[in-house]
Amino acid sequence: MVRLRQEQKSAVLRRLAQGHGFAPVEFTAEKSEKVWFCGCKRTAKPPLCDGSHKKS
Ligand code: FES
């Protein structure tokens, strides 16, 4: 298993996002609560799900 430092992880994510139109979005939890992250890329409030995945 390869362990990466946070800076290395960010660099890898940036490289993976190039050419795909997607970019990493930083998220800092400001309080302890349950949230859902968007996995469909349709949300208007990245990185959180706003329910847009339910629309066809
Ligand atoms: S998973 Fe993308 S809007 Fe809900």
Confidence at residue 4, expressed as pLDDT on a 0 to 100 scale: 80
Q: Looking at per-residue confidence, does 3 or 53 come out higher?
A: 53
How much distance in Å is there from the Cα of 56 to the middle of ligand 1?
12
pTM of the entire predicted model: 0.61
Q: Which two tokens stand for residue 41?
A: 């890329």
Q: Which of 52, 42, 8 is nearest to 22 (CA)?
A: 42
Residues in the chain: 56
Name the residue among 4, 2, 28, 23 with its Cα closest to residue 13: 23
Beta carbon of 53 within 6 Å of any ligand 1 atom: yes
**pLDDT number for residue 8:** 86
State the alpha helices, DSSP H only, in 1-56: 6-17
The tokens of 46 are what?
């990245």
Spatial separation of the C-alpha atoms in residues 20 and 1, rounded to whole Å: 27
Residues 8-52 pLDDT 10s: 888 877 777 777 777 778 899 999 999 999 989 899 998 999 999
